[in-house]
Copies of this chain bind each other. A is one copy, B any other.
Amino acid sequence: MTDIQGSSPSRRALIGWTGAGLALGAAVAGGAVAAANAGNDVDPAAAEAGGAVEFHGAHQAGVATPVQDRLHFAAFDVKTDDRAEFVQMLKDWTAAARRMTAGQAIGEGAYGGLAEAPPDDTGEALGLKPSRLTLTIGFGPSLFDKFGLRDKRPEALVDLPKFPGDNLDRSRTGGDLCVQACADDPQVAVHAIRNLARIGFGKVAIRWSQLGFGKTSSTTPDAQTPRNLFGFKDGTRNIAGTEEDRLKKFVWVGDGDGPEWMTGGSYLVARRIRMNVETWDRTSLQEQEDVFGRDKREGAPVGRAKEHDEPFLKAMKPDAHVRLAHPDSNDGITILRRGYSFTDGTDGLGRLDAGLFFLAYQRDVRKGFIPLQRRLAAHDALNEYIQHVGSALFAIPPGVRDSGDWWGRTLLSEEA
């Protein structure tokens, strides 16, 4: 168990400027810091208190952590050619992430007295609870074309194939880096991404970003699955954050998987899936239930009574979503889903620009998302009502071990 406060046990104020006669002190109403990441334990008490999730650990938080209510996800492109500058930015990001996830403002009071300098923290999360904020970094395939990293690109970090029906918008696809910010308070998640973008100014720039307002998956054992924007529960049999055996088998990169710098990491697929809600809303209940292979009210598989009852796949239509996506139809393929519903206003035709921002973690995308999506893209009855419009794949490095460690060290340090 590491010192979760790192080297800064005292909580310092955002505004250290005493010129206005303000007392220095604890300005941040931080909740208790819970050990909800170390060993990926679930700590429901921390959740209820709006508390903090441990930033340090063998794995990054935000994967097996119980799913928070809101999301701000950003993909960045690297703008600098200077490896040392990029490494320093990752260290600065890590320091900021360590403080923000603990509910603290960025900056160690380093600008005390400097009214002439921009504040180290933009301030809009001041006074808000930590809200279980997790920040999870990932490295996209294109990063490995830079900084002499070509030889370090994992074989599993493939270029995703084009699937039938894909209609990808380049401006919502790819990215050298990503940061997934999840929190129970959206202002806390938005604050985190905005401050990382600010710290990275001149070195990285946001390529695209996505807000998610409602979680569609649960990684808490036996919890009710939240409904997606089609009104259905989907992905009932998710991997729970407490299922260490399944996490080890399906999510975390193992010792022999290679490359070594990825051990303890994972691979993240992000897909922006537009849902044609207006069309869906005009289809009959029977059609909707046939498409999913579930009843709408309970979320029970066809012919069963409750959401978590074992599905009888052969009772469903051959193209039913549950039947096609179930591990029993896919040689046991299982991924950990953390998707969120989104609504980005209205398109030019008065239709809601709404859907599912699909996020899935897996040990190897070649044995996870790719074969699964090949099957779904070819056969799923749901395809009539959805379209994949954005896509990205990222290598998620292992966790930051302690207060001296930093995001990407295993990939980028001189000793690595």
Contacts and interface: CB of A to CB of B under 8 A. Distances in A.
A176 to B, nearest CB: 13
Contacts of A231: 119, 121-124, 126
Interface in A83-126: 111, 114-119, 121-126
A303 to B, nearest CB: 9
Interface stretch (A153-161, A209-217, A250-258, A408-416): A209-217
A125 to B, nearest CB: 8
Interface stretch (A41-49, A135-143, A190-198, A325-333): A190-198
A282 B124 contact: no
A296 B14 contact: yes
Interface in A203-236: 205-211, 213-214, 224, 226-232
Contacts of A341: 124, 187, 190
Contacts of A224: 127
A335 B66 CA distance: 42
A209 B346 contact: yes
Count this chain's copies in the assembly.
Answer: 2
A2 to B, nearest CB: 30
Contacts of A296: 14-15, 119, 123
A72 B2 CA distance: 42
A284 interface: yes
Contacts of A288: 119
Given A15-B295, A17-B285, A350 B119 contact: no
A186 interface: yes
A369 to B, nearest CB: 23
Given A194-B277, A229-B124, A206 B115 contact: no
A383 interface: no
A278 B198 contact: yes
Interface in A37-58: none
B211 A345 contact: yes
B15 A285 contact: yes
B118 A281 contact: yes
Contact of A297 (B13, B229, B354): B13
A22 B285 contact: no
A352 interface: yes
Among A186, A289, A354, find the residue whose CB has the most chain B CB atoms closer than 10 A.
A186
13 contacts: A15-B295, A15-B297, A27-B297, A126-B231, A127-B227, A190-B214, A194-B229, A198-B281, A206-B346, A206-B351, A207-B346, A209-B343, A209-B346
Interface of A: 13-15, 17, 20, 22, 27, 70, 72, 74, 111, 114-119, 121-127, 171, 185-187, 190, 194, 197-198, 201, 205-211, 213-214, 224, 226-232, 277-278, 280-286, 288-289, 295-298, 341, 343-346, 348, 350-352, 354
The 10 nearest A-B residue pairs measured at CB: A123-B231, A205-B350, A115-B286, A15-B297, A186-B213, A187-B214, A124-B227, A124-B231, A206-B350, A206-B346
Given A124-B228, A187-B214, 10 more contacts: A13-B297, A17-B285, A22-B297, A115-B286, A117-B285, A119-B288, A124-B230, A186-B214, A187-B341, A198-B281
